[in-house]
């Protein structure tokens, strides 16, 4: 069953701020669906006076990508539109928050992966949010459990973020945790995605160390876990 379209909840902000978001969010989404990078860029530029770069990321770019992901799941958006929307937003994000303006955070080595699945939109969003916040994230793409463990050992990863859309991908985390312990590897597993929102106890059952409801949760979780990592 198709989910209802996500809406942006703007709380405790000025009337002008809310009006700016509302007047641009649908236009930005449509520009992405039309694969019109120039139009999408122009809309972001129009909001520069009212919204900070991070606010434009949180209230325009991310909601648009989530809506398009929902519509693709419902069959109303083509895979090419989903793919190009993500690529356009990656380019615009680099322009919005230039590399030299990002303040790097001193945090444990962090990586992100999608296990045995090809639904990478959630991963792409979380990586963008973290990188714009100064967190260096190793993007492992889509991989199998054994491959992930090998890369974690090589890169000395301390926190692994796992993005899921399908239940079978979420259940792979149980195998990941078991093999982590067998191999004597020391890293935390953070999960997120639809299966964990539908069953709030699932992350406990599969042995994850933490669960995030949205992309914006990721930074806080990493910072909290970092306090217990040597």
pLDDT tens by residue, 78-131 = 888 888 888 898 888 878 876 655 667 889 999 999 998 877 777 877 887 788
Q: CA-to-CA distance for 64 and 156, rounded, in angstroms?
A: 34
Give the pair of three-digit tokens for residue 120. Answer: 């990478």
Give the Cα-Cα-Cα angle 176, 180, 181 (nearest 5 degrees). 125
User: Where does CATH 1.10.1240.10 sit in the chain?
Assistant: 15-101
Every domain range in the chain assigned CATH 3.40.50.280: 110-226
| CATH placement of domain 15-101 | 1.10.1240.10
Task: Say if residues 178 and 148 touch (Cβ distance below 8 Å).
Answer: no
Q: Which helix H or strand E contains 141, and what residues bound it?
A: strand 137-143
Rg (CA), the chain: 18
Can you tell me the distance from the alpha carbon of 47 to that of 45, in angstroms, rounded to the nearest whole number? 5
Could you read off the pLDDT tens digit of each residue along the chain, which spans 230 residues?
454 333 333 334 344 555 567 778 889 999 999 999 999 999 999 888 888 887 888 788 888 887 887 788 788 988 888 888 888 988 888 788 766 556 678 899 999 999 988 777 778 778 877 887 788 899 999 999 999 999 999 999 999 999 988 888 899 999 999 999 999 999 999 999 888 988 989 999 999 999 998 777 888 999 999 998 86
Rounded Cα gap, residues 48 and 62, in angstroms? 17
Among 135, 136, 113, 108, which Cα is nearest to 124's? 113
Fold assignment, 110-226: Rossmann fold (3.40.50)
β-bridge partners, 119:
none
């Amino acid at each position: 069953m198709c989910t209802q379209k996500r809406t942006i909840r703007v709380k405790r902000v000025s009337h002008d701020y809310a009006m700016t978001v509302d007047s641009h969010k649908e236009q930005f989404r449509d520009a992405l669906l039309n694969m019109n990078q120039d139009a999408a860029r122009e809309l972001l530029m129009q909001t520069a006076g009212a919204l900070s770069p991070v606010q434009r990321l949180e209230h325009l770019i991310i909601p648009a990508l989530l809506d398009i992901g929902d519509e693709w799941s419902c069959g109303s958006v083509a895979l090419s539109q989903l793919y190009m929307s993500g690529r356009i937003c990656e380019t615009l994000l680099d322009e919005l928050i230039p590399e030299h303006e990002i303040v790097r955070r001193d945090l444990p080595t962090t990586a992100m992966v999608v296990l045995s699945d090809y639904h990478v939109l959630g991963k792409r969003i979380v990586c963008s949010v973290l990188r714009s916040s100064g967190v260096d994230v190793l993007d492992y793409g889509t991989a199998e459990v054994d491959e992930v463990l090998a890369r974690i050992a090589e890169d000395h990863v301390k926190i692994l973020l796992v993005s899921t859309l399908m239940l079978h991908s979420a259940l792979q985390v149980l195998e990941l945790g078991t093999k982590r312990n067998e191999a004597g590897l020391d890293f935390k597993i953070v999960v997120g995605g639809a299966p964990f929102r539908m069953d709030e106890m699932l992350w406990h059952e599969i042995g994850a160390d933490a669960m995030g409801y949205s992309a914006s949760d990721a930074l806080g979780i990493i910072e909290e876990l970092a306090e217990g990592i040597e």
